[in-house]
Structure 1
């Protein structure tokens, strides 16, 4: 029964991801959080983050492949940001597994992240301005700053880190938006891979929701989400082509605010 429910949730998450053009982590995380908390799983925060990173890793591969097909693939910069992002993932993982990163802290941080995403999408719906290239140089220092910050956010919230990477590269470094998205897509593959592997091989005994677990990664809960997400992703893209993007972006902002409110309500 849980398997079917997770597949359906995955279809919904994939449809929304395809419709709004976002990474799956921003939706995988709340779904897994509600699942793990509602079933009474002990210490649900690291389980949510680790399993969401596994789901995000799988989903992000298809995004990067799509970027390559569209000949918008900057593999050197993407690998550099992703590899350096693993450093940020490590520091985030240390924080998550400390006694100070409680469920309340996680919900507060993730809700703030959701509010930021909602504001960004709403502002995007109100303007058609796109930042153009001013400085196209992208060295190790810039890649390190973006990667480390993206990795920290990824491991603290269970997302790919794109919400940090794209604004830094587009707004701060003045890279063309298409290039920033391409670099972020590949970097997210490496950052999320590093994330779930680091959580998977933590020492100690951890009892998850299903028996298919390694460390804090619950594959039994993540795989049904991934299956549904792949199916829903194609549906979301098709729907997106027939709906005005202005209404899509406003709708997503409202949806994100609802999710944030629900997460806050779960600990109130």
Structure 2
């Protein structure tokens, strides 16, 4: 089968994957949310629509999401570094612990049932949505970051759970850092760098060590769907500035609440698919 035949045979899949890239890019620019929190559930439900089991869909969605975060995080790091919002000193303290968490978490993804990942994503998505709804503008709970041991636990946990559910780290690291009175703009900028530390080794681990499910969608190698990667990445990068431009014209705070509600419903629906 040549490339033209492959495209024709998978045209609908390509169109939907491309649409998810557009949506992820716009939301990233508009609301400052990481693409993974959008891409994972979109791919999860999309793949099931094409006959993939829920367990396999979640495994492939997780790995593919991490792969798409690699190039977008590089672009984001450059933008935040120019503004001085990447905390290099924090990264020097945390990167080893993040990496350990990522390697353990991504290895587990290649070994466990997809329903466990769906449950974990549903919980994290629901908590993230509640945080966006109720903690906006709230004061920090602590005056400063904990000591070395506490920070090592934070870094390892961010890497582990982010790799397990296919998100870049901002979903967990930004609210966690701001709880400790860490400047929000630096938390977002540093989270972009954390996203690269998570996504690159995580995606490679799932690509090389993951066993491709028998019912995996076309273009899947290991656990990474390369067709999804090719369709999503360019459009995510292209449409992020569109979202940023819209943010200047629209009520971003209200839109963030709407997105949080949609995310909460999505998280609860994923949990419901596992338990009911």
Kindly state the Cα deviation for residue 58 of structure 1 after the two structures are TM-superposed.
2.1
Match for residue 97 of structure 2 among 84, 88, 113:
84
Cross-structure match for 1:11: 22
Cross-structure match for 2:169: 161
| CA offsets 1:212-259 (integer angstroms, 9 cap, x no match) | x44211111122111221222111111111122331221121221232
CA distance in structure 2 between the aligned counterparts of 1:121 and 1:203, rounded to whole angstroms: 33
Match for residue 71 of structure 1 among 75, 84, 96:
84
Kindly state the Cα deviation for residue 65 of structure 1 after the two structures are TM-superposed.
1.3
2:96 is equivalent to residue 44 of structure 1: no
Q: SS of 1:201's equivalent?
A: helix
CA distance in structure 1 between the aligned counterparts of 2:129 and 2:243, rounded to whole angstroms: 19
User: How many residue pairs align between the two structures?
Assistant: 261
Distance 1:55 1:205, change over 3 A: closer
CA distance in structure 1 between the aligned counterparts of 2:266 and 2:222, rounded to whole angstroms: 27
Cross-structure match for 1:34: 45
Conservation of the 8 A alpha-carbon contact between 2:28 and 2:35: yes
- Structure 1: gaps (5+ residues): none
1:1-268 map, 5 Å: 1=11, 2-41=13-52, 43-98=56-111, 101-125=112-136, 128-129=137-138, 131=140, 134-135=143-144, 141-172=149-180, 174-202=181-209, 204=211, 208-211=216-219, 213-264=220-271, 266-267=273-274, 268=276
Conservation of the 8 A alpha-carbon contact between 1:79 and 1:186: no
Distance 1:95 1:204, change over 3 A: closer
Q: TM-score, normalised by structure 1?
A: 0.86
Kindly state the Cα deviation for residue 143 of structure 1 after the two structures are TM-superposed.
4.1
CA distance in structure 2 between the aligned counterparts of 1:194 and 1:76, rounded to whole angstroms: 21
Kindly state the Cα deviation for residue 193 of structure 1 after the two structures are TM-superposed.
0.9
Conservation of the 8 A alpha-carbon contact between 2:58 and 2:115: no
Conservation of the 8 A alpha-carbon contact between 2:141 and 2:179: no
Kindly state the Cα deviation for residue 140 of structure 1 after the two structures are TM-superposed.
5.1
Distance 1:217 1:54, change over 3 A: same
Conservation of the 8 A alpha-carbon contact between 2:73 and 2:195: yes
Q: TM-score, normalised by structure 2?
A: 0.83
- Structure 2: gaps (5+ residues): 1-10
Kindly state the Cα deviation for residue 202 of structure 1 after the two structures are TM-superposed.
0.4
Kindly state the Cα deviation for residue 160 of structure 1 after the two structures are TM-superposed.
1.3
